[in-house]
């Protein structure tokens, strides 16, 4: 014998039936706070603003950035590495 019971409940009714707390007001408050923070800080994500901020910190900023990119390019192309097993001369 097989017995099936269908229960038609909304999530709110199920939560109340099981005695679980209503977290929706807290969730709404947190989401509003996150939204407010994102809207306040969205200007900082603008690429032009980021670039100006990064390179206005020190006059050497652009030079350091260029050196870093050059080093990365050298590493990516394998430049400056000796083949395995070879010793440097001198």
Indicate the angle between helix axes 47-56 and 61-77, nearest 10 degrees. Answer: 110
pLDDT tens track for 49-59: 777 776 666 66
Q: Domain spans of the chain? A: 22-69
**N- to C-terminal Cα separation, the chain:** 90
Residue 55 burial (10 A CB sphere; 0-12, 13-18, 19+): middle
Most confident of the ranges 15-19, 47-51, 59-63: 15-19
Average pLDDT, the chain: 80
61: how many CB neighbours lie within 10 A of its CB? 14
pLDDT tens track for 23-47: 999 999 999 999 998 888 776 677 7
SS3 category, 43: helix
| Long-range contacts from 61-67, C-beta under 8 angstroms, 24+ separation | none
Read off the pTM: 0.40
């Amino acid at each position: 014998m097989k017995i099936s019971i269908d229960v038609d409940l909304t999530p709110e009714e199920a939560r109340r039936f099981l005695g679980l707390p209503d977290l929706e007001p807290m969730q709404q408050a947190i989401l509003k706070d996150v939204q407010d923070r994102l809207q306040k800080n969205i200007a900082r994500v603008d690429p032009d603003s980021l670039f100006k901020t990064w390179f206005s910190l020190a006059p050497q900023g652009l030079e350091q950035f260029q050196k870093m990119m050059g080093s990365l390019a050298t590493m990516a192309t394998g430049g400056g590495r000796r083949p395995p097993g070879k010793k440097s001369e001198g």
